[in-house]
Structure 1
């Protein structure tokens, strides 16, 4: 039976992935964590840190496939004076160090969870990103993920180990944090939002769909040395997304139709132009390669993914 190591076993994606693999029944699963805790139902390995000097020898014993979800994640309001250096320590040096040790220990495949930020920060409406587009990352996080991808594919020229890269868009699901959670809270409280006239299109991916694709990539022969984009297969405008969430919360949708140019003007006054771009701009991905090469399709629809997210939000007492 194939034995899979999932790094970042307590993270939003890693925890869900480990549970999915365990339920799948075709694989054994181990997870790595950065503390001493033991997770129920899976073999847990404690790893101190994630950088170029981390030892993975114990965690890699008997492992056939590594799924690397652990990372220094994107920070909305970065406070470090040189964030790129810090991102590189973890996301580039740490990733390549793990991959080299994995290859040396006999691991056959390394699945790397990257980011759509490698492609860039936004698309023209109706012109989605494709996996073979020239990378154009604009922030330190995206740059570090791009550099990690290049290092991994470079490594495949030296060792007998496949690399699979997955670039997800915004991931949501039960337990989602950050801006997505804030948005749900605003709608739940009935806060009027000036977002009733946004006619953009953004790709999202439900956690269930992301982990489904990752599991497919664990052993699919056609996944070797490929890059895949992933989404739910249905793009929504910001206004449509907020309206659907309000409906699932059973709350009135108080979305005021303010023109996007006015929103952008106000956002720039407060030096939040990046936030305005995410709300008003488009970011679409083309998942046709993922569908055709892997014979994969999203397991849940946007509405099903949102319903599961909102149900968890309500059950947890908001």
Structure 2
């Protein structure tokens, strides 16, 4: 199978390419949004990963997100519809539908994205779903949760450095539950979708099977580093007070950081597992996280 991949220089793109190239021909596709441009799709499948991710420095304007995540996707999808290509896989995000999750996130949730990032991803989803698809084509919208894997530090790096420097994790009083997605499980599910033609078009959440608390994550990091877990359970009222102070003066802990570290964000992966015919994904969340953390050590 000949597969085009956009965003191939990114963390997910590199990993998907390496995973699929042993059995398929991979065609890197360099794309960026330009007004009124046309694309030609000459492959059996297109995996669209390119886009604009969260801007942690908060210097981007909404138009940047909508150009990269909606307008570019629209151009690529229109080209796919006019081509002989059979499969289109669009990487959206769980943030396209929910910034906060009270129960367990399912695919049919009523979308309420708060950020330009999530809103631009949702607009792209809606455009894709509004089009009539011919019987010989399949279209997949993938909503991954927080992705982890060797080489992708993200928020894990903050906790890793905390444990490595022997700084006690102060938030163990918060017993949150959140879903993660190991890159190996992501690769496995993408390959299954491409090779199993019985998998129907649709929207699919991507997540590992298990949920973990941030305190669990600190314990895993401590174990991999062979260090004693120094977590402490400072009362929530005190932590919340410090976070509010951090909103007005520059502190490492503010309300946004506190929410990211302690919120519940459970994502169901039952729909994709049923579609590809598996009861469990190949790797547990702990296995994936241990592999990620070991990669931090080897590069230092």
Does 1:122 find its partner at 2:119? Answer: no
State the Cα distance separating 1:222 from its structure 2 match. Answer: 4.2
Asked if 1:179 is matched to 2:176, the reply is no
- Which secondary structure does the structure 2 equivalent of 1:221 belong to? coil
Specify the alignment match of 1:20 in structure 2. Answer: 19
Matched residue, 1:86: 64
1:50 to 1:220, Cα distance in 2 relative to 1, 3 A: farther
Q: TM-score scaled by structure 2? A: 0.91
**Which residue pairs with 1:298 in the alignment?**
281
CA contact (8 A) 1:68 1:111 kept: yes
In the aligned structure 1, how far is the partner of 2:147 from the partner of 2:261? 16
**8 Å Cα contact 1:194-1:255 kept in structure 2:** yes
Taking the aligned partners of 1:67 and 1:94, their CA distance within structure 2 comes to 13
Runs of 4+ that moved beyond 6 A: none
Q: Please, which moves more after superposition, 135-144 or 182-191? A: 182-191
User: Within the alignment, does 1:155 sit opposite 2:131 as a pair?
Assistant: yes
Matched, 1:268 2:268: no
Instruction: Give the direction of change, closer, same or farther, for the CA distance of 1:87–1:160 in structure 2 (3 Å limit).
Output: farther
- In 1: Cα distance, 2:236 partner to 2:199 partner: 40
User: Aligned residue for 2:7?
Assistant: 8
Residue 282 in structure 1 maps to residue 258 in structure 2: no
Determine helix, strand or coil for the equivalent of 1:270.
helix
Aligned residues: 293
Supply the distance in 2 between the matched residues of 1:159 and 1:54 (Cα, whole angstroms). Answer: 27
Equivalent residues in 2 for 1:193-204, closer than 5 Å: 193-204=169-180
In structure 2, the partner of 1:75 is 55
Q: Distance in 2 between matches of 1:108 and 1:158?
A: 10
| Secondary structure in structure 2 of the residue aligned to 1:178 | coil
2-structure distance, mates of 1:14, 1:246: 30
The Cα shift of 1:224 comes to 3.3
Runs of 5+ unmatched residues, structure 2: 248-253
| Contact 2:17/2:26 (8 A) holds in 1 | yes
The answer to whether the 8 A contact 1:72-1:90 is kept is: yes
Deviates more, 1:161-170 or 1:189-198: 189-198
Pairwise CA distance, 1:53? 4.1
